[in-house]
Amino acid sequence: MGSRLDCGSSRVTLTVRVQKKRFAQSDVTVGSRTHALFGNGNMSVIAGCDGNATYYTETLSSTGNKVKSAERRLC
């Protein structure tokens, strides 16, 4: 889940990605959702488990802001 809070009435394109961490390779996106004209609130992403691994979410705004969650070992 990603969120955008306390941003007044401005609207952005918000993307939330679930990433699988891979060592010695680029991380891979296992789930993603994009919403144009997003204001404030939470956005959920559903992603299937791609094996026992470390996962995290990234929230990206069309303004250039990017936030990464804590990593968690899942599956």
Confidence at residue 6, expressed as pLDDT on a 0 to 100 scale: 84
Residue 9 is given by DSSP the state: T
Confidence at residue 7, expressed as pLDDT on a 0 to 100 scale: 84
DSSP-assigned beta bridge partners for residue 21: none
**pLDDT by residue, tens only, the chain of 75 residues:** 888 888 888 899 999 999 999 989 999 999 999 999 999 999 999 988 888 999 999 999 999 999 999 999 988
